[in-house]
Structure 1
């Protein structure tokens, strides 16, 4: 099984090696309606297209373009959970943002993780390596912290400013920098236990040295992320994986009203213009290649 490119925004047009080595799911016509946030009709249309394209292919590694589309992961995770509903699955979520706000109807790229935490077939979501200020005052910013209180979603921030911990839903959360990698991985190993695993990555978790995205970025180096995943996948079944975070020029929709709303929101959350120059493309292509080489052997073993 090769990787699949879910083409929503043309993010891979300048990565010919990835295109040549991957199957392609054409969904660029749905991209504007899905970008940043989407209503149920667009999500249902994409879900049908993805399920048809992946029918009978087993576990999949999907690249889905910009982090503006991270809510597409919810569709891929539900598909993975449906393939073996009798087996528990833990979702490992690597991201600079917790993606747990309330949003309805439909889904937002910042709301999907809280929804996935309540999917049947998903026992828990473990969100890893956030550096974003979204962790601070999360309830005030619209976070659905009930999933944290109920033990359905556990955050492991990379750092919390100058402090050793942050407080989420009344719980003291130690950062990875405070725990150290060995103790952090021990905690996560124990939490996953014998569960199957699904991995979802937004490359904005990475340092700008390793990725160029449409969002503010964290400090995690790619080699460290790959080391963590290699450790956590050892002896476990990978039910699927997806990767977002390749910067692309945004096209918003559907229609004028949604386009204006999304442009205003993006101007507040993404206050700089991405430069899609040759070096940016090289950096993103190199990261995609290394992530593919790490994850694809596990996908193939699970097929």
Structure 2
């Protein structure tokens, strides 16, 4: 039995990508929301929580550009068992919160650390070395980082492969961890290839029980028609391969999980 696929529709960006073809979706309309770009205000957060209230955190959630990566906090808030969070991102997303009553795409990991009592550990994978060095300290062994510099050496891959996680994991992927040949995003990007990202994900999927997954990193529409088509094609290919990887893993483990798509520019 195939997992369900649900599309939360904000701006229809995924409709332009070929990876959605030949799939059946349940649509959830989110085109009426304001106060959600990079920062999510109190009213927008309440309405988003209402829209996802009937869904479990299990499955795959596509959440458009990195501007909306804070949605990962809303999905992980629904987990009611000890879990670890594995974040693939060129940015650690652990900046100090500028507005206490708002979620932010740049501080959501820090928010999860400070508010989710079920969270056991956070693993940040592929972030830029200077950003890792500038991260907020004080979390001890609760936060572990594998920077893109670490992953450029075999030793870093070996340490990642040997990592022991003693509870289920939630995986969050921002495609800005990838190089420009593998994804086109709104933010500066890292150096991983799509094959390297899939290899790292494969290590987790083989070893760990996965609660759920989300993927962001879409790109805003370009004024250049041909550039926009290139960006849609490259992101569609990345989304297609990541979706296939996660679905194959879910099916091989006999998991009938919801697959949720969220879209917003």
2:124–2:145 contact (8 Å) kept in structure 1: yes
2:129–2:148 contact (8 Å) kept in structure 1: no
Contact 2:123 2:143 in 1 (8 A): yes
Query: Please, which moves more after superposition, 96-105 or 21-30?
Result: 21-30
1:27 and 2:35 correspond: no
Contact 1:239 1:299 in 2 (8 A): no
Cα distance in 2 for residues equivalent to 1:20 and 1:288: 15
Aligned match of 1:117: 113
* Aligned counterparts of 2:75 and 2:11: Cα–Cα separation in 1: 18
How far has the Cα of 1:179 moved from its partner? 5.2
Q: Relative CO higher for 1 or 2, CA cutoff 8 Å, sep ≥ 6?
A: 2
**2:261 equivalent in structure 1:** none
- 1:242 aligned counterpart, secondary structure: strand
Following TM superposition, by how much is the alpha carbon of 1:135 offset from its aligned partner in structure 2, in angstroms?
3.1
Output aligned runs, 1:60-139, within 5 Å: 60-79=59-78, 81-82=79-80, 85=81, 88-103=82-97, 104-118=100-114, 119-131=116-128, 133-136=130-133, 138=134
Q: Which residue of 1 aligns with 2:43?
A: 41
User: 1-side partners of 2:177 and 2:61: how far apart?
Assistant: 18
Contact 2:40–2:102, Cα closer than 8 Å, also in 1: yes
> Which one of 138, 143, 146 corresponds to residue 153 of structure 1?
143
Q: Distance in 2 between matches of 1:246 and 1:274?
A: 16
Number of aligned residues: 247
- Is 1:283 the counterpart of 2:234? The answer is yes
Q: How far 1:100 moved relative to its partner?
A: 0.3
Preserved CA contact (<8 Å) 2:151 2:157: no
Deviation at residue 249 of structure 1 after TM alignment: 4.2
Instruction: Give distance in 1, aligned partners of 2:176 and 2:27.
Output: 23
Q: What stretches of structure 1 of length at least 5 have no aligned partner?
A: 160-174, 251-272
2:9 to 7, 10, 14: 7
Q: What is the deviation of 1:176?
A: 2.6
Distance change (3 Å), C-alpha of 1:112 and 1:34? same
Q: Is the CA contact 2:120–2:142 (under 8 Å) kept in the aligned structure 1?
A: yes
**C-alpha separation in 2, matches of 1:212 and 1:133:** 22
Q: Which runs of 5+ in 2 are unaligned?
A: 257-265
Which residue, out of 200, 210, 224, partners 2:172?
200
Question: Residues 96 and 132 of structure 1 are in contact (CA less than 8 Å); yes or no, is this contact kept in structure 2?
Answer: no
Shift of 1:245: 0.3
Q: State the match for 1:177 in structure 2.
A: 152
Instruction: State the shift of 1:277 in Å.
Output: 1.7
Question: Can you list the C-alpha shifts for 1:199-220, whole angstroms capped at 9, x where unaligned?
Answer: 0000000011010100000000
What is the TM-score with the length of structure 2 in the denominator?
A: 0.84
The alignment yields a C-alpha RMSD, in angstroms, of 2.4
CA distance in 2, matches of 1:291, 1:130: 19
The 1-side partners of 2:209 and 2:61 are apart by 17
In the TM superposition, residue 70 of structure 1 has moved relative to its aligned partner by 0.2
